[in-house]
Amino acid sequence: MAHRYLMGAALSFLFLVCAVFVAAEANASERAASKREDSLVADVIKRRATTAKLALAIWDLAEVGYQEARSSVLLQRYLTDAGFDVETGVAGMPTSFVASYGEGQPVIGILAEFDALPGISQTAVPERNLREDRASGHACGHHLFGAGSVSAAIAVKHWLQDNPRTGTIRVYGTPAEEGGSGKVYMVRAGLFDDVDVALHWHPADRNAANPATSLANKSARFRFRGISSHAAAAPHRGRSALDGVEAMNYMANLLREHVPESTRIHYVITRGGEAPNVVPDDAEVYYYVRHPKATTLETIWVRLMKIAQAAALGTGTQVQAEVMHGNHSLLPNETLARIMHRNLTSVGGVTWNDAERRFAEKLATSFIDPAPNLEGAEAMVQPMKLVNGRGSTDVGDVSWVVPTAGLRAATWVPGTSAHSWQAVAAGGTEIGIKGMQVAAKVLAMTARDLLANSAVINRAEEEFHRRRGAGFKYEALLGDRDPPLDYRR
């Protein structure tokens, strides 16, 4: 009995020693991995002040699509000073650029946006306060997007220097994401043809790295031309262009009942006349149509075009439609998303100090919906799952020609909607900067993982082709038009 007890004790001790040894090996491996990651993360941290200054300078400029001349130059200069070769004005867009470092495959592209939105001016305070010097604002956080992506690319460049191997890190400076489809012109020009993987991120109110879809999107300006006359003395001699716009809007609103539920149709009247006593001979309405599938979107678009023609016929006016932009939906890639999610989990979210928490609590009182629980929300990383997004982005076109993955980082107060003054406000503070740093670290780590492991890229490529389907041929939804460089003027 005692012999069996001693034998059992000896075996237990042996198992314990083995377990400790295995645990020590695992911890050593984790520490080694952590050390490798820390060198990359430390590189991002080292530039924090400079990157923050860059992001806030672009926030202050708040330049809208295709007019981001100074913002683009700031990003280019940062990359040039870091040793990147920068090509400017690509794909017919003066504010676009491609910055490269390294040589050979694999080529990892990191996307960088930097355009603001019109009509959403705001200072960096937690209550509504318009800026007197700006009519635009970074309500989608693209100032953080561009600066964070550039910082990540520089960290990867330094890693490539310390770990000599073939491989290229490339930054795509992509203008006019907000309705201008800058990336589509880059895709159409073949600038992604040799890219193995594209990475991106976006400001948000949560930290997440999900394989995500989005809505395909197409827009156009419908310009009606009529005949002016005195609205009181000779209305019968006039043909109102505004009547054409209103007739189109009425029929488009009827159309909503007879399209798939996931369709989105929205518009603004951009020109409707100047004086009530003049029958307007010139009016314009600007439409967006969205749907998860580009093929379904195109069928709805045909119906909208017929509505415009019917409106002109019924009001005795003429109509011309100019397609302004068109984006494909995002094509998810779970292989890449798992790597990005692992890195986001490793980095973690952000931590606010007392002043930032007070800012967040004050700002949250302005939400229409009940404010969410702010306790620790900025530090959480959301579980990975497939997300069906309801927004649209020209990243979608990139994702149909190269395997693509992205993340969202908490640069805004939880509960904040994109395209809101609350997003502008938080993006101009340390809350935004801290979230940007999270994104830069995760992008850098993910790019490093891909450069070091071609097998992962091969698996991502296999998934990419499977999801796209056999026989897929990319076609831009905006057709063969040139970039609408004046669409925000």
Give the CA angle between residues 175, 292, 303 to the nearest 5°.
95
Residue 246 lies in a domain: yes
Supply the CATH number for residue 153's domain: 3.40.630.10
Question: 392 and 424: one domain?
Answer: yes
Q: What's residue 373's pLDDT?
A: 73
Q: Is there a single domain that holds both residue 168 and residue 200?
A: yes
Residues 67 and 205 in one domain: yes
Q: Over 90: is that where the pLDDT of 303 sits?
A: yes
Domain range enclosing 399: 43-214+329-468
What's the domain count of the chain? 2
pLDDT at 26: 32
316 and 345 housed in the same domain: no
> What residues pair up with 221 in beta bridges, in sequence order?
286, 322
Residue 183 makes CB contacts below 8 A (sequence gap 6+) with 111, 172, 174, 177, 394, 395, 397, 398
286 and 259 in one domain? yes
Q: Which residues pair with 269 in a beta bridge?
A: 285
| 307 pLDDT more than 50 | yes
The one-letter amino acid at 195: V
Q: pTM for this structure?
A: 0.89
pLDDT at 84: 98
State the helix-helix crossing angle for 48-61 and 69-81, rounded to 10 degrees: 160
Does 166 reside within a domain?
Answer: yes
**CATH, residue 294:** 3.30.70.360
Band of residue 39 on the pLDDT scale cut at 50, 70, 90: confident
Amino acid at 322: E
Residue 465: pLDDT above 60?
A: yes
Alpha-carbon distance 408 to 414, whole Å? 12
Preceding omega of 106 cis (within 30 degrees of 0): yes
SS3 (DSSP) at 302: helix
Tell me: pLDDT of 195 over 60.
yes
> Is residue 342 predicted with pLDDT exceeding 90?
yes
**Residue 234 domain flag:** yes
Query: In 240-303, at which residue ranges do the beta strands (DSSP E only) sit?
Result: 264-271, 282-291
| Residue 489: per-residue pLDDT | 84
Same domain, yes or no: 340 and 462: yes
354 and 323 in a single domain? The answer is: no
| Residue 391 within any structural domain of the chain | yes
Q: Could you tell me if 75 and 68 are in contact, meaning their C-beta atoms sit under 8 angstroms apart?
A: no
- Positive or negative CA dihedral for 477, 480, 481, 482? positive
DSSP β-bridge partners for residue 111: 172
| Whole-number pLDDT of residue 14 | 36
Same domain as 48, residue 196: yes
Residue 277 DSSP SS3: coil
Q: What is the pLDDT of residues 15-30, one digit of tens each?
A: 333 333 333 333 333 3
Q: What is the pLDDT of residues 68-102, one digit of tens each?
A: 999 999 999 999 999 999 999 999 999 999 999 99
Mean pLDDT of 167-174: 98
Domain boundary among 283, 306, 327: 327
Residue 207 lies in a domain: yes
Instruction: Report how far residue 128's alpha carbon sits from residue 332's, in angstroms, rounded to the nearest whole number.
Output: 37
Report the candidate in 265, 262, 264, 284 with the shortest Cα–Cα distance to residue 273.
284
Instruction: Give percent of the chain above pLDDT 90.
Output: 88
Q: Are residues 298 and 361 in the same domain?
A: no
Give 204-236 pLDDT, tens digit per residue.
Answer: 999 999 999 999 999 999 999 999 999 999 999
Is the separation of the CB atoms in 447 and 152 below 8 Å?
yes
Same domain, 65 and 183: yes
pLDDT higher for 13 or 343? Answer: 343
Average pLDDT over residues 29-47: 68
CB of 292 closer than 8 Å to CB of 213: yes
Does residue 449 lie in a domain region? yes
Last residue of a domain, one of 307, 327, 347: 327
Q: Which long-range contacts (CB under 8 A, 24 or more apart) does 343-347 make?
A: 343/37, 343/209, 343/441, 343/442, 343/445, 343/446, 343/449, 344/207, 344/208, 344/209, 344/381, 344/407, 344/438, 344/442, 345/381, 346/37, 346/445, 347/41, 347/438, 347/441, 347/442, 347/445
Rounded mean pLDDT, 289-296: 96
* pLDDT tens-digit map of 412-453: 999 999 999 999 999 999 999 999 999 999 999 999 999 999
- Does the residue 36 lie in any domain? no
Looking at residue 37, its pLDDT comes to: 52
CA 185 to each of CA 90, 92, 386, 405: distance values in angstroms, whole numbers, following the listed order:
9, 8, 28, 20
With respect to residue 486, please indicate whether it lies within any of the assigned structural domains: no
Collapsed DSSP state (helix, strand, coil) of residue 177: coil
Question: How many Cβ atoms are within 10 Å of 133's Cβ, its own excluded?
Answer: 8
Which pLDDT score, from 0 to 100, does residue 389 have? Answer: 87
Weakest mean pLDDT among 123-137, 149-163, 356-370? 356-370
- Average pLDDT for residues 457-481, to the nearest whole number? 96
Is the domain of 228 the same as that of 341?
no
pLDDT band per the 50, 70, 90 thresholds, residue 374: confident
Note the pLDDT of residue 377.
Answer: 82
- The residue type of 193 is D
Please enumerate in sequence order all residues whose Cβ is within 8 A of that of 161, keeping only pairs 6 or more positions apart, or say none.
none
Q: What is the pLDDT of residues 320-331, one digit of tens each?
A: 999 999 999 999
Residues 263 and 202 grouped into a single domain: no
| Helix, strand, coil % in the chain, rounded to nearest 5 | 45, 20, 35
Separation of alpha carbons 154 and 50, rounded Å: 12
